[in-house]
Structure 1
Amino acid sequence: MTSVRRYLISVLIAVLVLTSFLAALQSYRLSADRAAELFDQDLELVAAAILNQYQMQAPQSGQGLAIQLVQQGKVTYASEQAPRERLKAPEGFSEQNFSGKRWRVYLQHSENNSQVMVAQPLQQRLQLADEVITASIYPVVLSLPFQALLIWLVVSRALRPLHEFSTQLTSRKANELTPVTLTQVPAELKPVLSSTNSLFERLSGAFAREKRFASDVAHELRTPLSVLEITLFNALTHWKQQGMSDKDENMVALQKGVERMRHLIEQIMLLNRTHPDNFQAKTKLLDWAALCRDVVADWYSQLEQKLQQISIEGEEHLEVKADEFALRLLVSNLLGNAIKYTPMHGQIMLTLIHTQDAAVLEVADSGPGIAPEEYQQVFNRFYRVGGDRHHSGAPGSGLGLAIVKDIVMLHNGKISLGKSDFDSGLKVRVELPL
């Protein structure tokens, strides 16, 4: 059932039309029988009047009637449409043909061997009956559209609370979990409204606890991590002053571990912030090309360390309506991944394209790339190609592309992976609607 309103209106109108049609049909039959009885009674009255008065004066033919008077076996009077020869018909009512028409005939005998015949054309009887019946049915048929309109208004009014309930639900934002209030709540809708508000209340509490937990965890982790970084820095400084060596590079591994932990905490916080349930986009017109140049400038020191070549091709200015924080994070994550997995002296290219209905950013690198069968899996949280460490040896948390996908979905865009334009590597294509 696609629509309760459409279903109710359609069924009620169908029942109304069917019952009205049956009532009109029955009315037609009863009216036709009654009209025939009345016409026959007229014929009887005319015949009786003629028999009573034929000796005094010649009968006069009524409008449309055929009259024949027989006395002593001879036709003594015949109206204009009556046959001149004695009509042989049974006594009482019958249907006969004469004068080129079909007639309803009434024949009556008197005690003195006289006979009178009164006939009426069947066509005239049927026409008069149809006029009477049509006049009685016409108001019923004419009222059908008004009845249908009345049904539509009544059903629409009855379903107004349901429509208001649906409108409030569909117009809500992802993080709006306040109770639903209706001006009028019918008895059938009260359990649904109560269950929905109860669900919103539980969801609101769960989201509040989740946000508070994520914030508390990040705060509690950052503090000891900062202490660990400071302690590690002081230890390394002390070792150098004492001339101690780190042949097994344990301190270097410890530094990388602390750096990876900090990166993981930051990515988890960003993932929580950009999740559709928590993210509140503040979209505005942005120059995507200028934003890409700013992000490249932020990463320039890492590019220099690995002696990588980077270029920005395509549109010099590309306007797109998006959230600035989210779009900057998207470009930064894509560029950071490209720098991380592209080897020394590698190449990275950002291409900005303007299509008919979308703004497109392509980030291609000359790194090892990803197998096509893993294109969809890399968007899953904490998934990393090759296990905990990529075959390039680059550290990571497996959240970068998950964050990018969330941002793309928030902007109703598309993201896809493919082979790089270089000899090897990966190309990420992001399309955002204009």
Structure 2
Amino acid sequence: MRVNSIYKQFHRKLVLATSLFILILSAIFYGYTKSTIFDEIQDSLYKDARLIYKISKSTNVDTKSFNIITHSGINVDIVKLEHTPQTAYTTFRVKDDHYMQILYLFNPQKREYIKIVKNINSSLDMLNRIFNNLLLISLGGLIMVVFYAFTVSKTLLRPIIQITNKLSNMDENYLTQIKKDNLPIEFHPLANSINSLMARIETNIKFKKELFIGVAHELKTPLAVMKLKNEVTLMKPRTPEKYQDTMKLTVEQINDMNKMISSILDIGRAEGAQFEKPEEIDLVRYLQRKTNDYRMLSAKKKIVLTFFSNVNHYEVYLQPTLINQIIQNFVQNAIKFTPDDKSIAIRLNKTKKETSITITDDGKGIDESIDLFAPFKRMGEESGAGLGLFLAKNAADALGATISLKNREDGKSGCVATIILPNKPHHKKD
């Protein structure tokens, strides 16, 4: 398999482009020089022809003996042509000598022309010297381009090499941020993205470690309770009621363990949902439908559940399982911690930069000093595995969204759960 190197590709393309530029520039310069020299020769011959014509007319020169040599390398004669020449200037070669010829009309009635022939060997020798000099300059330029390409390639690719080396030396036990001080400004967005990814990976690893420790602790506690209760019960004969109490306790502990295991399975399903293909949904209609579904739960506590939106429609591409994981957790918690006969409001607010979804309840509020998104963190005295908000945080990270849970700031008791989705370009992901 052919291995592609960005360094070699960049170097090769830079050498090729610069070499073509030098060659084209040299060819243009040589062509311009040659054209200029030939134009000067033609102009000189034309002036000589006019001068000879004027002198010949004023002195009544005998055309039979017409032969004037103005200076070395030029022969002047008069010729009679049956047909008008197609061009006044022609070049030809005799052995090793090169000549340029001009035919200037002398006597139209007799079809006589002044013919001037000039040896242009010296001019062609000068052109050859110019060509050789250009060739040497081009070869020298190509050599300089090769060294220049090596230098520029290494200089421009050094930041990528630094970032690559930094990433290749990282593992789950060594995650550090990429410093932008020594990076060109063009690489700052890449460094920011990598640093953001590193932070997410570090947070995920931290939460996973806490999750494993918490699972072991949460499962070990009910097992220890069941074991101790059964051992005490079996130490001596008991009444049927005592055995029933022990069995009831065992069943309760098993039910709690089942809830814990179901929550752990939800984590696995949520991680799998990260790879779910995004779908196009109308977020406004989606939240309206979800609000109607949750009203069945809120009705048991006579809680009024309402939905508001500042737009009528908003089409987005996202994974429905992930957004449902977040909203369902926030709404169910709001219903759980809101007293009877109170209210919960779900609001969608779309701006140019982002879209926010808030769930505001009339509960008792939360302790903001506690990281409720960590695994096994519970609010109040309500039962549960303490993994709901942890799942919501993982789902938000997968969507590229941010979530928060804070107390209300309008003077009323309760809290506000917020989901902020960035407004991405509206296109379907493959």
TM-score w.r.t. length of structure 2: 0.42
TM-score w.r.t. length of structure 1: 0.42
